[in-house]
Amino acid sequence: MEKGQVVEGRFSIHERVGAGGTGAVYRATDVSTGAVVAVKELLNLGNDGESRFARECALLASVSDPGVVKYLAHGVGRGGASWLAMEWV
């Protein structure tokens, strides 16, 4: 993801703030609400990584607890990389 890129017409990317073994996290703005959000982009980890990431998205979407980051959306971006948007904490 690059600065200025808008993911799914909703999340405007500002900067990469971290990276690890499974992906990179970006600070972005949800253009529909103006809120600062985190967008996690999955690195190319093959089918096993994709299925783990899909489970992460589904589990996060099913949880509503003040101690757990809030799920916003997920999908597949240009270039085929999966992403997950969540509240910025």
Q: What is the percentage of the chain residues whose pLDDT exceeds 70?
A: 96
- Measured in whole angstroms, the distance separating CA 4 from the mean position of its chain's CA atoms is 15
Give the pLDDT confidence score for residue 48 in this predicted structure: 76
Nearest alpha-carbon partner for 38 in 75, 11, 6: 11
Contact 23, 38 (CB under 8 A): no
Q: What is the pLDDT of residues 38-74, one digit of tens each?
A: 999 988 666 677 888 888 899 999 999 999 999 999 9
Contact 89, 25 (CB under 8 A): no
Q: How far apart are CA 40 and CA 21, in angstroms?
A: 12
Burial class (CB in 10 A: 0-12, 13-18, 19+), 85: buried
Give the pLDDT confidence score for residue 45 in this predicted structure: 67
Q: Answer yes or no: pTM beyond 0.85.
A: yes
Determine what percent of the chain falls in helix, strand and coil, rounding each to the nearest 5.
20, 45, 40
Q: How far apart are CA 50 and CA 81, in angstroms?
A: 9
Give the pLDDT confidence score for residue 47 in this predicted structure: 66
